[in-house]
Structures are given as structure tokens and as C-alpha cells.
């Protein structure tokens, strides 16, 4: 059996990691450029989604 550790971030935690404001993070979520889920009405962003977002931006910049 494989053990998987999935970490969910709050919007403020994602804002801090990305160094972006609240509106911009929600814009990225709305445009589906940053994956997120809702847990009982609370928006959560998988930590891997933040990593993927950053890596995708780096590939675009190359």
C-alpha cells in the first residue's frame, strides 16, 4: 500500500507562498489556472497545485 501525503492550504497560505493578493489568487482559481476544492464551504488549495502553477509559469517564461 502506498502512503500519500496531501496538504491543503488556505487562501491566505497560498497568497503568502505566491506573494500575491487575495483578489489575484481568487482570479487564478476562477480562471482554473490554480486548482482548488471546497471543503464544507471553505476554499482549499492543494499544495501540489501551487507547485504546479509555479512550474508552469517557469516553463512559459523559458
What phi and psi values does residue 55 have, to the nearest 5 degrees? -65, -40
Q: How far is CA 36 from the centre of its chain?
A: 6
pTM: 0.85
CA distance 9 to 57: 20
The pLDDT score that the predictor gives to residue 6 is 85
Residue 32 pLDDT > 70, yes or no? yes
Residue 4 is predicted with a pLDDT of 62
Strand order through the sheet with 8-9: 8-9, 42-46, 37-39
pLDDT at residue 27, rounded to an integer: 98
2, pLDDT greater than 70: no
pLDDT at 62: 83
Residue 36 CB coordination number (10 Å): 19
Amino acid at each position: 500500500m502506498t502512503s500519500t501525503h496531501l496538504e491543503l492550504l488556505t487562501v491566505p497560505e497560498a497568497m503568502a507562498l505566491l506573494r500575491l493578493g487575495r483578489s489575484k489568487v481568487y482570479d487564478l482559481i476562477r480562471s482554473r489556472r490554480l486548482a482548488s476544492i471546497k471543503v464544507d464551504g471553505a476554499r482549499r488549495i492543494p499544495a501540489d497545485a501551487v507547485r504546479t502553477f509555479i512550474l508552469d509559469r517557469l516553463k512559459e517564461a523559458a
